Every structure is written in structure tokens, then in C-alpha cells.
Amino acid sequence: MTVDSLMLARAAAEILDAKKAENINVIRITNISSLGDYFVIASGTSNTHVHALADELEEKLKEQGVEPARVEGYRSNSWIILDYEEVVVHLFTADAREFYDLDRLWADGEKIDIDCKPN
């Protein structure tokens, strides 16, 4: 199954929302970076929650025939990155998200409304 990058970003955001991720942002970076088309940035309430979010996302997308090219940070206690090439998902604890501040660093990107309930 072929999934376009916006559909993949929305699917990732919806999966994370269903698993109670907080402060989910989808940012289109197509025009400002060659790293991909979209970043999905979300927070978990603890390092255990961040790992659960990553596991759920990987499992649900794999069911749709989509697997990450790379996964980084699994040994970290505060962040995990799932790289789906066109879509890169960044999962953080609240402290790590504040420290790395990707939302500010990528503020030139276009924030996409993903129709998840407000967090």
C-alpha cells in the first residue's frame, strides 16, 4: 500500500492521539528542509509513555504496510525518533521537548491542522 506523506503524518498523529500523546504538532517542512516532508512532534507523560507511544505507532503503521527506515533513541529515557523518510516522528518527555525545542526550531514550517481533539 502506498501512502502519501500527508496521509502518513495524519495517521501518525491520530495513532498518537488515541494513545494519549500530548501537544501533538504536525509541521510541513518540505519547503525549508531536505530531511523530509513532515515532522510529527508529540510528548508523552513519562519515559514509559514515550516508549509505549513509539511501540504503538510502529505496530499500527506496520499493520498498514509502513515501516520506519530508522528508529533512534530507544535506549534514551526521554526521546525516540521514528524516521519514515518523508515523515519523521519525534517523541519526547515534556522536559526533553522543552530542552530540544523543535517546535521553535522548525517554526518556519507550516503547522498542519490534524483534527485531533485539543490537548
Q: What does the pLDDT look like over 81-101, one tens digit per residue?
A: 999 999 999 999 999 999 999
pLDDT tens-digit readout, 45-85: 999 999 999 999 999 999 999 999 999 998 988 999 999 99
pTM here?
0.91
Confidence tier at 119 by pLDDT (50, 70, 90): very low
Q: Does domain 5-106 have CATH number 3.40.50.720?
A: no
Quick one: DSSP state of residue 113?
P
Beta strands in 1-119 (DSSP E): 22-28, 38-44, 70-72, 79-83, 87-93, 110-112
What average pLDDT does range 18-35 have in this prediction? 92
Which residue in the block uniquely carries the three cell numbers 503503521? 61
